A and B are shown apart, each in its own frame.
Chain A
């Protein structure tokens, strides 16, 4: 399974909303509702933002939301804040019982 496709970078001003796409195939994103999203700040371990397509772990801001349509998942960050500047990755379970990450998206707050 090839890496899921994400835009390399997205930028916006504070307070605005952004959406990051995660394009896969019918063998991964499109096959199951097992898509997760992670945020990673430099030098830190990734942090889970979303699991099973739309669910937020306890403590994750409701400014983060996600969805899926067909073979593409999306993460939306509303009310962008300076601390949201980080790398974001999607991850999907696959029909081979393996997992695959997205290529990663660098979010810049202007």
Chain B
């Protein structure tokens, strides 16, 4: 079955960097578009970024553009989110999501806390 497992979350100081990973299994990772979505504590869902199946096309939400970079390593079935210049309002659970023709699959999320 499709499984997505995020990792790399934790507590980080404002201005620092963090790299999230999302390991996919149970499907042909290299043929699917992948997203990052986040949810601040007690708040709604916010779309963060998307990457094409081949890693060529990448798009970002306005709040992270220029600070975050989405990438993927299809040889390792892994999605990444490099987060730089982190701010307190980046504090959230970060989910990776795989979009298939007739369903979405989500990981369990990884919590990122930006605090001094």
Contact = CB atoms under 8 A, between A and B. Distances in A.
Interface of A: 1, 3, 36, 38, 40, 45-46, 48, 51, 55, 57-58, 87, 89, 91, 96-104
A84 to B, nearest CB: 18
24 contacts: A1-B62, A3-B44, A38-B45, A45-B106, A45-B109, A46-B95, A48-B103, A51-B103, A51-B104, A55-B102, A57-B102, A57-B103, A58-B102, A58-B103, A89-B44, A97-B57, A98-B60, A98-B61, A99-B35, A99-B50, A100-B47, A101-B37, A101-B45, A102-B44
Contacts of A55: 102
B60 A46 contact: no
B89 interface: no
A74 B104 CA distance: 20
A10 B61 CA distance: 28
B107 interface: yes
Interface residues of B, number: 20
Contact of B44 (A45, A51, A103): A103
Contacts of B27: none
A89 B37 CA distance: 13
Contacts of A99: 35, 47, 50
A102 B37 CA distance: 13
Contacts of A87: 44
Given A45-B106, A57-B103, A58-B103, A98 B46 contact: no
Contacts, number: 50
A16 B61 CA distance: 37
B53 interface: no
Nearest to A97: B59
Given A97-B59, A98-B60, A98-B61, A48 B104 contact: yes
Contacts of B62: 1
A95 B16 CA distance: 32
Contacts of B108: 45
Nearest to A38: B45
